[in-house]
């Protein structure tokens, strides 16, 4: 059973990597998956993993090898930031100025700068978290944002609608790319670190890459369906 599982993780990972262009980072999403499953991908040389629950990520980080790059990808409550602030590599899902302030505070306590992406709401579903362009502009224009010395915004993230309508998905990814370009032009023109567009999951990552993704977040296509 273990052999069958490990074989399939290795093969699926290989298969997906063959579809991902050079320069696009693969975040292997391991939420709900065991440390054994993560180790299967690790043994294939993969080092970048994504989780959407702070405590779960903290527990896994303590057990697993320390050269893993941990990315936080889900909605993050301010009172949970402290569970990940000492080690997280990138927080993809910043969706409020309050959260940004708390990340800054926890980063300061750990004497580090935490890289963040601003999550845009691009889907038609109302349940998905995220900011619109106007809200992002108001954050970046604020005096408060200027005081945050322990966070660095390196790009944007978004989730497309869960649908079979690939035209709609493509349109949503295009909207995110346009927002990225606008923000870059207005606030980060000279900043080479502002370059990341995190979009695309198991069902839509090939479209996302065609539309300019620099990071894709893929879970079930590597590790199988979640319970």
Ligand X SMILES: *Cc1c(COP(=O)(O)O)cnc(C)c1O
Give the nearest distance from C-beta 190 to ligand X in angstroms: 30
Give the nearest distance from C-beta 117 to ligand X in angstroms: 11
Q: How far apart are CA 182 and CA 187, in angstroms?
A: 9
Q: How far apart are CA 18 and CA 21, in angstroms?
A: 8
Rounded to 10°, the helix 54-63/35-43 angle is 60
Q: Could you give the angle at the alpha carbon of 167 between the alpha carbons of 216 and 213, nearest 5°?
A: 20
| 71: contact with ligand X by CB under 6 A | no
| 130: contact with ligand X by CB under 6 A | no
Q: What mask, x for binding ligand X by CB under 6 A, covers residues 27 to 66?
A: --x-x--------------------x--------------
Considering only residues 168 through 227, tell me which ones interact with ligand X, judged by CB under 6 A: 201-203, 217-221
Give the nearest distance from C-beta 193 to ligand X in angstroms: 22
| 153: contact with ligand X by CB under 6 A | no
Q: How many CB atoms lie within 10 A of CB 178?
A: 12
Q: How far apart are CA 18 and CA 120, in angstroms?
A: 28
Helices (H), 76-188: 97-109, 133-141, 143-147, 166-187
C-alpha R_g of the chain: 17
| 73: contact with ligand X by CB under 6 A | yes
Q: How far apart are CA 211 and CA 174, in angstroms?
A: 6
Give the nearest distance from C-beta 222 to ligand X in angstroms: 8
Rank residues 50 and 180 by Cβ distance to ligand X and give the closer one: 50
Q: What mask, x for binding ligand X by CB under 6 A, covers residues 105 to 124?
A: --------------------
Residues contributing to the site for ligand X (CB under 6 A)? 29, 31, 52, 73-74, 159, 201-203, 217-221
């Amino acid at each position: 059973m273990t052999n069958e599982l490990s074989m399939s993780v290795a093969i699926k990972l290989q298969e997906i990597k063959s579809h991902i262009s050079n320069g696009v980072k693969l975040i292997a999403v391991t939420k709900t998956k065991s440390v054994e499953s993560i180790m299967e991908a690790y043994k294939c040389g993969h080092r970048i993993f994504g989780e959407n629950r702070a405590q779960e990520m903290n527990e896994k980080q303590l057990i697993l090898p320390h050269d893993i790059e941990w990315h936080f990808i889900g909605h993050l409550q301010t009172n949970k930031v402290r569970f990940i602030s000492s080690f997280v590599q990138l927080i993809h899902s910043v969706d409020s100025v309050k959260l940004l302030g708390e990340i800054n505070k926890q980063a300061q306590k750990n004497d580090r700068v935490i890289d963040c992406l601003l999550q845009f709401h691009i889907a038609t579903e109302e349940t998905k978290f995220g900011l619109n362009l106007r809200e992002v502009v108001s954050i970046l224009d604020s005096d408060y944002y200027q005081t945050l010395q322990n966070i660095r915004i390196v790009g944007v993230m978004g989730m497309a609608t869960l649908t079979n309508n690939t035209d709609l998905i493509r349109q949503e990814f295009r909207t995110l790319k346009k927002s990225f370009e606008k923000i870059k032009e207005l606030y980060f023109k000279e900043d080479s670190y502002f370059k990341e567009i995190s979009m695309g999951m198991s069902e839509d990552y090939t479209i996302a890459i065609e539309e300019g993704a620099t990071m894709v977040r893929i879970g079930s296509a590597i590790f199988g369906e979640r319970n």
